[in-house]
């Protein structure tokens, strides 16, 4: 028997007219039948637009580069997964046997994708204003806290730090990839001239590179 979605809709602050849209948004591709990838595609585009619009209005004097970094920080996977957890999505995800066994309901990418899919579902169910309202409420505290210049990622921080020391830019190399296509783990080596290479592992190449850059920057600052 499937779990009632009424408690989830109360948490979302939105009552679906077409419950099938919410059901699809919660269904991972590891399940048979209609899954949430198309809704995720739509939700991703909507989220990017509405967050960009909110930042544009909130920071009228801020340059494009800082606006882009703030948007990236707000829509990145770890942020979306955190909001998904706050809304209790993990209790309602519909996963295939393999994902259930491996704890997919806790996986960052699955939670983030489901949140975007729900946004796509709300848009199809009630239109842009309903979708915008949910985004501004769910992301409200983070929009209040964010500020220009605080959101440079680890790779950017490392690059700027090395430029300040007049050192060459770091290099990144994937040295291992483990797992199936939809569930891979990447190990990346970050090399800074004259320093011991740093390795880090992540659920995507980008995440592994960012983590390696953060460790390399920490090492550089510690050694000075």
* Residue 29 neighbours by CB under 8 Å, 6+ apart: 35, 36, 37, 182
Active-site residue flag, 223: no
Residue holding tokens 């259930």? 100
Annotated catalytic residue within 116, 125, 209, 211: 116
3-class SS at 171? strand
* Chain centroid, CA 197 distance in Å: 27
| Distance in angstroms between the alpha carbons of the first and the last residue of the chain | 61
Structural contact between residues 80 and 89, judged by C-beta atoms closer than 8 angstroms: no
* Chain centroid, CA 30 distance in Å: 20
Rounded to whole angstroms, how far apart are CA atoms 25 and 70? Answer: 26
Q: What are phi and psi of 92, to 5 degrees?
A: -120, 0
Q: What are phi and psi of 199, to 5 degrees?
A: -120, 150
Active-site residue flag, 44: yes
Residue holding tokens 């704890």? 103
Annotated catalytic residue within 23, 40, 44, 125: 44
Structural contact between residues 123 and 43, judged by C-beta atoms closer than 8 angstroms: yes
Catalogue the active-site residues: 44, 116
């Amino acid at each position: 028997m499937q779990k009632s979605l009424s408690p989830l809709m109360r948490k979302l602050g939105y009552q679906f007219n077409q419950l099938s849209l919410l059901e699809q948004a919660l269904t991972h591709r590891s399940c048979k039948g209609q899954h949430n990838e198309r809704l995720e595609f739509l939700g991703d585009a909507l989220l990017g637009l509405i967050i960009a619009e909110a930042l544009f209005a909130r920071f009228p004097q801020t340059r494009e580069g800082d606006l882009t970094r703030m948007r990236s920080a707000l829509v990145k996977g770890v942020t979306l997964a955190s909001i998904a957890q706050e809304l209790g999505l993990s209790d309602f995800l519909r996963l295939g046997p393999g994902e259930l066994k491996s704890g997919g309901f806790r996986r960052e990418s699955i939670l983030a994708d489901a949140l975007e899919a729900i946004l796509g579902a709300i848009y199809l169910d009630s239109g842009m204003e309903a979708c915008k309202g949910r985004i501004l409420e769910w992301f409200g505290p983070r929009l209040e806290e964010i500020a220009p210049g605080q959101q440079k990622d680890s790779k950017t921080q490392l690059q700027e730090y090395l430029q300040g020391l007049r050192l060459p830019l770091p290099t990144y190399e994937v040295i291992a990839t483990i797992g199936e296509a939809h569930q891979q783990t990447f190990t990346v080596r970050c090399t800074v001239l004259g320093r011991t290479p740093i390795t880090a592992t992540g659920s995507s190449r980008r995440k592994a590179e960012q983590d390696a850059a953060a460790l390399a920057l920490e090492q550089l600052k510690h050694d000075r």
